[in-house]
Structure 1
């Protein structure tokens, strides 16, 4: 790692010297290794190729992983925020919020970021969303626990479709979304249905993973609520959901809740929401004091919490961060720099 960093530092210095006259402001920003801008691609292809080679080596190194969830709902792009190729290069994993109906240009960009920048491209399969869809179909209360015997066919069909997308679009893997609920106050009947529903979901995911062991799996939610957390042993990251947190202390609280026996402690991470451009009240992606959750995560993540070292961070709906006034993806870059500081 030391040899790689020294060589990469040399490339940074050489590249800066060659392009200083072009006054490219992006080169003066402090993000770990995000130098892959169009100007260097055109002005010095050999230097850019060397940069990408070092970038790919960096992705193999021991560092804090950076996840983003990308809104790819716009199929006719009209600005650069719709392109995953414009995401900061240092991002490790991109999760597509709309994993099906990918266009040719989306597939081309997925292949590009995978081959050039060693980004992994995945998508989330969320149990709570499947359960909510079932309840909506039957006009049940959103939080009602479905009767397992009746719910199983719906769950199986939903997972069969969702998991088929991995092969259809050659995704690198999946994120398993599962929040669950605390079981301590459940009545026996509810606990029975809850246990059977979770067991069915986890067993299907386990079976798929055994048959597709070359694909990565990661987890996002509330791991402490899993009845059987054995699946987490194979997850690349265990991401605790801080998307509804109102301050940094709440991030710590959620991390401590997840830090229980039988859950691997060496791969914990935290996710927060980016802002929503259609949120006039500034509630989504903000803490209670009006500060940005992304900025709070950048400040919170570098330090251990309750003896847990944060090994991954995540931003949901990252594309809205493209529109910052200082620089595109400014807060995402600040988060990357905070957890993987630049070489001095």
Structure 2
């Protein structure tokens, strides 16, 4: 039995030694140059024709596509959705949410997408300005938080405090400090538009419904928006070649005078889950002073990590899966336009 084992193993060992000896040259790594030329590199003339046709299409009457891009504030792009060149060629407008301290890479990307007729604008978000102000006003303290919060069941002199008391952001006796800050921020953002060569700005405002405000709060918001309007109108008068968009709820504006200067008005419908809800949002937006011939419906894309349920319709596809709000909105637009 021992002899048999040796007979069977010896050829295997000999073969292994031969293989190890002969493959010594195989272990040296060698880089392989894999070339994947783009269409532009393969056929420059054909690519030039494609770009010309694409620009001609975007210059014609067609259904517009407007995309919000959440770029990193002051940092270079690290993901595809932070690169202007990663978006489909059919996109008409890309709006960058953080236009200040823009990374140098974006200058080349802007030039590249403009060859395709895509224009790049920057956002001025009123809610972000308010958040910045509140952060500046927050007291700096290292004291631990105490659980002294007054709950609805607590009683103070027999009367529960009403919402909107002194100290709330929407009920201040003197709002001059915020107005000065707001003016400074809007002016700085429009300056960034010029500095980095954006094609225009998008003013985003999706504040409270007017009917839910007290007269004092209505006056307060009107004053704050008045400052924004003043800066934007002055800027647009000095730069008439620049695009101006409004994004939000037009019916939430006490004064719609800015909208007449806007190239387009994007009606936000982030929470819409059906075509019917899109119709409702569009109907709400059509108040006096809104240019109804320049409306774009705005929905959200589903989160890649599934962190929320936004971005889907209750309607399902052939496989029984809910369709994305983007697909549903596109279908809704085509249906209203009479496309089959």
TM-score norm. by structure 1 comes to 0.71
Confirm whether residue 161 of structure 1 aligns to residue 161 of structure 2. no
1:69 counterpart residue number: 68
**CA separation in 1, counterparts of 2:284 and 2:126?**
20
Unaligned runs of 5+ residues in structure 1 are 1-36, 311-337
Alpha-carbon RMSD: 2.7
Pick from 222, 240, 244 the counterpart of residue 213 of structure 1: 240
Q: 1:214 to 1:145 in 2, by over 3 A?
A: farther
The separation in 2 between residues aligned to 1:164 and 1:173, in whole angstroms, is 11
* CA deviation after TM superposition for structure 1 residue 79, in Å: 5.8
Q: Judging changes above 3 Å, is the alpha-carbon distance between structure 1 residues 69 and 185 closer, same or farther for their aligned structure 2 residues? A: closer
2:115 maps to 1:89: no
- Which protein, 1 or 2, shows the higher relative CO under an 8 Å CA cutoff with sep ≥ 6? 1
Deviation at 1:76, TM superposition (A): 5.1
Q: Following TM superposition, by how much is the alpha carbon of 1:244 offset from its aligned partner in structure 2, in angstroms?
A: 2.3
1:249, distance to aligned residue in structure 2 (A): 1.8
User: Which residue in 2 is equivalent to 1:293?
Assistant: 325
Does the C-alpha gap of structure 1 residues 161 and 142 become closer, same or farther in structure 2, counting only changes over 3 Å?
farther
Deviation readout 1:165-186 (Å, 9 max, x if unpaired): 0111011000111223332343
Change (3 A) 1:47 1:142: farther
CA drift of 1:142 comes to 8.1
Match of 2:19 in 1: none
Is 2:182 the partner of 1:183?
no
Residue matched to 1:10: none
Residues 1:271 and 2:292 aligned together? no
Q: 1:170-213, CA deviations, whole angstroms, 9 ceiling, x for partnerless residues?
A: 11000111223332343232222122112122122111111111
Matched, 1:233 2:232: no
Q: Distance in 2 between matches of 1:79 and 1:126?
A: 23
**Bigger-Rg structure (1/2):** 2
Contact 2:201 2:245 in 1 (8 A): yes
Cα displacement (A) at 1:136: 3.7
Kindly indicate whether residue 136 of structure 2 is the aligned counterpart of residue 137 of structure 1: yes
Note if 1:53 corresponds to 2:52.
yes
| CA shift in 2, pair 1:218/1:142, >3 Å | farther
1:43–1:203 Cα change, 3 Å: same
Unpaired segments of 5 or more residues in structure 2?
1-35, 139-165, 316-321
Q: Distance in 2 between matches of 1:256 and 1:128?
A: 24
Give distance in 2, aligned partners of 1:182 and 1:207.
27
Helix, strand or coil for the counterpart of 1:176? strand
Q: 1:170 aligns with which of 197, 205, 213?
A: 197
Residue in 1 aligned with 2:309?
283
Give, in angstroms, the shift of residue 259 of structure 1: 1.1
Change (3 A) 1:142 1:241: farther
| Contact kept in structure 1, 2:66 and 2:92, CA below 8 Å | yes
Closer, same or farther in 2 for the Cα pair 1:143/1:257, shift >3 Å?
farther
Larger deviation, residues 267-276 vs 135-144:
135-144
Structure 2 equivalent of residue 316 of structure 1? none
Q: SS state of the match for residue 161, structure 1?
A: helix
38-47 or 286-295, which deviates more:
286-295
**1:279-308: CA deviations, max 9, x gaps?**
44x42323457542112212212133xxxx
Q: Could you tell me which residue of structure 1 aligns to residue 102 of structure 2?
A: 102
Please report how far the alpha carbon of residue 44 of structure 1 lies from its aligned counterpart in structure 2 after TM superposition.
1.4
Looking at structure 2, the residues matched to 130 and 277 of structure 1 have their Cα atoms a distance apart, in angstroms, of 27
Greater displacement, 180-189 / 263-272: 180-189
